[in-house]
Structure 1
Amino acid sequence: MAGENNGSPKLHEVKPRENVGRETIARYQAQFRGAAFECLSLLEDETLDRVYCDYQDDFVSRLNVDGNYIYNFFQVKTKGKLNYQWSVNDVLGIRKGAKTCEPAKITDSYVGKLLIHTIRFENSCGSVIFLTNVHLNDDLEGLRDAIEGDSDNNYYKLLLQNFNDALTPESPIEDKNIIERIKKLQLKSNISYLNPYDDKFFTEARETIYQYSEIDLQRSECEEILNSLIFLVERKSFAKLLEEIAEEDLDDIAGVSLAEMLDILSISKAAYQSLRDGGDSQAIKSASIIHRLMSKAGASERMIEFVSDCKVRWDIWFRDKRHTIPEFDLNFILEEIENNAAEWAKFGENLTVLRGRIDKVLSDLDDEDLSANLDRELLLGAVFSFLVRGNA
């Protein structure tokens, strides 16, 4: 009778038919983490202008190089057992110690599916990258070394010999062009932040954000930001796409842009653009520092943008005037500005106090030429130019 089994066996005591669902979720989490980490590079690399999620491959980064688009294609493949080592057969379909191979297996392999991008996208394909959280075995490392250099390797020779039959049988290409395409392949292993249950993702991402923007995040802030980023990547990955789609629609539906990264980090897009247009080579860092300081002072987005514009004006003025104003006068005014800026930031004063400090500096100017050249907006820009340098 049903009542006589005493609730046995329990759920965990019976081996499940399959764990495909959990494995699929883990694979997607790794893919999202890989794409999210690439999105962080939007903060640093001016040539990188968009990351596409789950389109053409697990994710694709687009670089704008002198007006031409270059695409890097990424495949993320993870293993739950961290001591696993990928083999040449795993990723390329060539058996250990083989003297020959089947082109069809190369076609269907992970590497084959990456290398096909070098054919389909020709010169607009920059790199094709295999990312994994575990190691490569010795044979696969040997193949990687041969691709990166000119070392002798049997698996490399087999790939070269079978490239046309596997990937472009209808339009064979010359050996030198095959080599150029194979050289675009990168095998990147032991990437710990791909592990879906590993906190190293948050640690490494936090360090990366700080490196690119000088934003020093608390752990809770970091997790909130990165969870928002992963959610954005996930949404972009699962958004429905039409078979034929315009570039602008693709950018919006599947692509992550710098503007979206600035939103996630609460950095003013207008302030960033003003600083960048003004020639600030570290516009992300400058914008994030100004945003942090001004937010603490209770400033609005409009005021943050205004201050950024003032900093740009000051930087231009200083480059132009520093050699025409007597050094004695210039150094004294700089000393006054820097002292007031440092005290304002140190004591966490509001904007009204800062305004009073700037008015006093301006009223204390003895030199008529200097007072005629400077106004409150330039001095406000000077304050934040100093504060940005001091924080960077």
Structure 2
Amino acid sequence: MFRTVKSIDIEAPAEDVGRDTVSRFDMQYQAAAYAALQILEGKEVDCVYCDYHDDFVVRRTVDGIATYHFFQVKTKKKLNHQWGLNEIFSVKKRGQKNDADSLKSVRASFAGKLLLHAIVFDEACSEATLLSNVHFDDDVVKAVEEMRCGLPACAASKFLSENFSMIFTLSVEDSEKAAKFMSKLSLRPAVSYIGEEREAFAGAARTAIHKYSEIDLDYYETNRIANGLVDLVYRRSRTPLNGVAPETIASRVGIRLEDLLEILSISHGAYETLQQGVEDKVLKQASAIQRWLKQAGARDDMIEFASLQKVNWDIWLRSARHTYSPMDLSALLDLIDKVYTRWAQSGEGFQFLNSLLESLSKESVVRSFQGLDRELLFGAVSAVVVRKASR
């Protein structure tokens, strides 16, 4: 007689909270990773802190002065859910009391914790945002809009405005800034780049990388980089900070340019060299040169050298356009293009390219131009690589 044994696949678990928790945290990491991609633009955003003071914090530095944009990520599995007033502010639509316990609940709410950043950091806090994968109820949207413009009219915004000092036990001086603090709260609803799986994030990351750098990734590169970004946020979010000096916080829990360059497999030295040449789309140029020479078997130091010579060639060419005949320059550029084409079609390694450059440097057409040596011609071929990658 056979005894029936229960199967783990058939018997439902008592609870499935752990899986849901992991998914929610992963979406938080995706949101932080997506924000970090702004660093590639090379403008104001220079660091994203992971799970430090809030779910993540975006730092912008302008003229040496840093400001911070705080983000709290709240997600729902049910995508047609709408966050209500009580969920966001711990405020009721009607009959809201202002006793001590009620005010304490408002302070401990999602919005209350974000508004506390505005108070604590004052001018250094540029904005405090509640980000979600679902929408907010109209009452929430209306209350936040009225707080942002300083014109409380609905019951919720009027209650918060009238009781703001008591909710956060503000000093007389800070009470005068209440309207300014309230104006920093914002919503970012139904963002499309986070999800239980990472497909949406991967696609959004690919688009963002192309926007900021014009680097166009294939399917496999996109998935590798997307996973690398989210995993990096995970690691930085779990970094212990006991006894850590304040000046090292950013390097421990923050994501900065060097972290992104490592994930993108772009040499920091090559990036820095090209950036000093004051050229647009530095990341794209660094990526093109890096991939080109890696395929040719060159070491990292040669990649940085190619980037330096590319900058030197750009400078030389700008000057040469004012010195030499356009016809002579056209003939020179044609020769350089032919060297690149011959090497690319040969399938040979870096040594073959080196021999082609050596021969080119000895040609009479090339020797008629002052300062054109083999190294500078290497930079010229690097410029051809970047130009072709732009097409």
Range into which the TM-score falls when normalised by the shorter chain: 0.7 to 0.9
Partner of 1:266 in structure 2? 265
Is 2:127 aligned against 1:127? yes
Q: Which residue of 2 aligns with 1:374?
A: 372
Q: Look up the equivalent residue of 1:314 and give its one-letter code.
A: W
Cα distance change on mapping 1:9 and 1:41 into 2, 3 Å: same
Matches for 1:275-354 after TM superposition, within 5 Å:
275-342=274-341, 344-345=343-344, 348-354=347-353
Normalization by structure 1: what TM-score?
0.88
- Offset from partner CA, 1:61-98 (integer Å, 9 cap, x none): 22221111111111110001011011122111222256
Q: Which amino acid aligns with 2:70?
A: F
- What SS does the corresponding residue of 1:193 show, helix, strand or coil? coil
8 Å CA contact 1:164, 1:172 repeated in 2: no
Write out aligned runs for 1:133-212 (5 A). 133-147=133-147, 153-154=153-154, 155-173=156-174, 177-197=177-197, 199-212=199-212
Rounded Cα–Cα distance in structure 1 between residues aligned with 2:147 and 2:335: 59
Rounded to whole Å, the distance in 2 between the matches of 1:9 and 1:364 is 79
Q: 8 Å contact 2:83–2:135 — kept in the other structure?
A: yes
Q: Which residue in the other structure is 1:237 paired with? A: 237
Q: Tell me: CA distance 1:170–1:5, structure 2 relative to 1, closer, same or farther (3 Å).
A: farther
Secondary structure at the residue paired with 1:373?
A: coil
How far did residue 345 of structure 1 move? Answer: 4.1
Kindly tell me: are residues 149 and 330 of structure 1, through their superposed partners in 2, closer, same or farther at Cα, counting changes over 3 Å? farther
Is the contact made by 2:340 and 2:381 (CA closer than 8 Å) also made in structure 1?
yes
1:231 counterpart letter in structure 2: D
User: Residues 238 and 328 of structure 1: is their aligned pair in 2 closer, same or farther, counting only changes over 3 Å?
Assistant: same
> In structure 2, do the counterparts of structure 1 residues 326 and 15 end up closer, same or farther at CA, with 3 Å as the change threshold?
closer
Residue 342 of structure 1, CA deviation: 4.7
AA matched with 1:107: R
Question: Within 1, Cα distance between the matches of 2:148 and 2:280?
Answer: 32
Tell me how far 1:11 sits from its aligned partner.
Answer: 7.1
1:220-278 Cα deviation digits (max 9, x unpaired): 33222222222221111112111x53233212321222112111111111111111122
Supply the distance in 1 between the matched residues of 2:364 and 2:94 (Cα, whole angstroms).
Answer: 82
Contact 1:342–1:387 at 8 Å: present in 2 too? no
Residue in structure 2 matched with residue 256 of structure 1 by the alignment: 255
1:343 positional shift: 5.0
What is the distance in 2 between the residues matched to 1:328 and 1:14? 79
Give the letter for the 2:251 counterpart. Answer: D
Residue of structure 2 equivalent to 1:389: 387
Q: Deviations over 1:16-61 (max 9, x none)?
A: 2x44323322221111111111222222243222221111111112
CA change 1:333–1:169 in 2 (3 A) is same
Distance 1:132 1:350 in 2: 50
Q: Give per-residue Cα distances to partners, 1:331-353, cap 9 Å, x unaligned.
A: 33233323433554466553233
Query: What TM-score do you get using the length of structure 2 for normalisation?
Result: 0.88
In structure 2, the CA distance between the partners of 1:90 and 1:12, relative to structure 1 (3 Å rule), is farther
CA change 1:334–1:108 in 2 (3 A) is: same
Aligned residues: 386
Partner of 2:21: 24
Percent identity between the two aligned chains? 37
Equivalences for residues 8-23 of structure 1 within 5 A:
13=11, 16=14, 18-23=15-20
Q: Is the 8 A contact 1:291 1:304 kept in 2?
A: yes
Cα–Cα, structure 1 residues 94 and 307, in superposed 2: closer, same or farther, change >3 Å? same
Alpha-carbon distance in 2 for matches of 1:178, 1:331: 65
Match of 1:59 in 2: 56
| In structure 2, distance between residues paired with 1:366 and 1:236 | 55
CA displacement at 1:201 relative to structure 2: 1.4
**Matched residue type, 2:313:** W
Superposition deviation, residue 171 in structure 1: 4.1
Deviations 1:180-234 (A, max 9, x none): 3333222001113322235211221222223334443333332222222222211
Distance 1:236 1:366 in 2: 55
Instruction: Answer yes or no: is the 8 Å Cα contact 2:37–2:208 preserved in 1.
Output: yes
CA contact (8 A) 1:75 1:129 kept: yes
Local SS of the residue matching 1:72: strand
Q: Where does the alignment leave 5 or more consecutive residues of structure 1 unmatched?
A: none
CA distance in 1, matches of 2:206, 2:366: 48
What root-mean-square deviation, in Å, do the aligned CA atoms of Structure 1 and Structure 2 show?
2.8
